[in-house]
């Protein structure tokens, strides 16, 4: 498996898991995968292999989410077909939200890193799960109205039987300052949900947590992949991650 395939494969496996939770729905065909999670911010359509003229297929997906009265973010990537799907989505009232660089790093190339004084990291357990969600939710703009749904989803992923998922927390002098999540598949670890509250930013805590998390997973993965926000791209590049592709995000909502 080449690097670009690994980036997409890890992302697709991660997204599929949200459809397999107790309250979720996962729909898969040879054309497309899509999920409904109960949380509007986590619904996804992905892995598209559609006809050159995909308008009718897009309409069917929109109709599904319109029936559910829920938005969806459609994700495109290097394997997406048709290659002009993004243009067709825009014509069907999807809004282009962002482009995420798909990046990777061989764990053999994970260098040494000076850990900030007083910094400790730990896996997420029942005793600290609330701290993980309390940091993560506001950093990713999760509305209070979906707080309970978000917590239930990640409780199942991190504390249930979803073995490929690992959650991590970092603290400095006993104060929690950063979170992350790892998803393991086929010898690849995906880095997700790295969050640092404003008061703890620009102190290298996210870098330290990501480094320690990856170092601790070297016996389970050969390399790491992630889909960086534009703001995070430079941070990961300094760690040695290299950009290999782009993941496009297109949002449709019932109010469109």
Same fold, 3-101+247-252 and 106-244: yes
The mean of the pLDDT values for the chain is 94
DSSP 8-state class, residue 8: H
What tokens were used for 133? 């969600």
pLDDT at 162: 67
230 has a pLDDT exceeding 80 = no
pLDDT band at residue 129, thresholds of 50, 70 and 90?
very high
- What would the mean pLDDT of 131-156 be, rounded to a whole number? 94
Q: Give the residue among 191, 157, 159, 193 at the shortest CA–CA distance from 178.
A: 193
2 has a pLDDT exceeding 70 = yes
pLDDT band at residue 17, thresholds of 50, 70 and 90?
very high
CATH topology for 106-244 is Aminopeptidase (3.40.630)
pLDDT in tens, 83-110: 999 999 999 999 999 999 999 999 999 9
Segments making up each domain of the chain, as ranges: 3-101+247-252, 106-244
- 205-216 vs 230-239: helix axis angle to the nearest 10? 60
Residues 6 or more apart whose CB falls under 8 angstroms from that of 199 comprise: none
Q: What is the DSSP string of 155-191?
A: HHHHHSS-TTEEEEEEEETTEEEEEEEEEEETTEEEE
CATH match of 3-101+247-252 with 3.30.70.20: no
pLDDT band at residue 223, thresholds of 50, 70 and 90?
very high
pLDDT at 169: 97
1 has a pLDDT exceeding 80 = no
19 has a pLDDT exceeding 80 = yes
What tokens were used for 20? 């397999």
Can you name the residues that pair with 74 across neighbouring β-strands?
45, 250
- What would the mean pLDDT of 63-78 be, rounded to a whole number? 96
């Amino acid at each position: 498996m080449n690097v670009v395939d690994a980036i997409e494969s890890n992302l697709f496996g991660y997204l599929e898991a949200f459809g397999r939770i107790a309250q979720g729905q996962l729909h898969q065909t040879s054309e497309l995968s899509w999920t409904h999670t109960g949380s509007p911010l986590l619904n996804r359509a992905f892995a598209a292999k559609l006809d050159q003229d995909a308008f009718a297929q897009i309409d069917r997906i929109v109709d599904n989410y319109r029936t559910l009265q829920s938005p969806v973010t459609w994700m495109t990537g290097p394997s997406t077909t048709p290659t002009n799907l993004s243009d067709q989505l825009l014509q069907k009232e999807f809004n282009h939200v962002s482009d995420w660089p798909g990046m990777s790093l061989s764990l053999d190339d994970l260098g040494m890193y000076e850990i900030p004084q007083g910094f400790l990291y730990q896996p997420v357990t029942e005793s600290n799960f609330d701290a993980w969600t309390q940091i993560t939710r506001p950093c990713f703009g999760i509305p209070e109205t979906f707080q309970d749904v978000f917590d239930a989803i990640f409780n199942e992923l991190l504390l249930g039987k979803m073995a490929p998922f690992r959650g991590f927390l970092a603290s400095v002098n006993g104060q929690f300052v950063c979170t992350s999540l790892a998803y393991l598949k086929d010898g690849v670890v995906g880095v997700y949900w790295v969050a640092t509250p404003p008061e703890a930013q620009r102190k290298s805590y996210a870098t330290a947590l990501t480094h320690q998390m990856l170092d601790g997973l070297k016996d389970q993965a050969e390399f790491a992949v992630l889909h960086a926000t534009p703001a995070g791209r430079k941070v990961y590049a300094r760690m040695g991650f290299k950009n290999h592709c782009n993941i496009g995000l297109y949002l449709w909502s019932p109010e469109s």
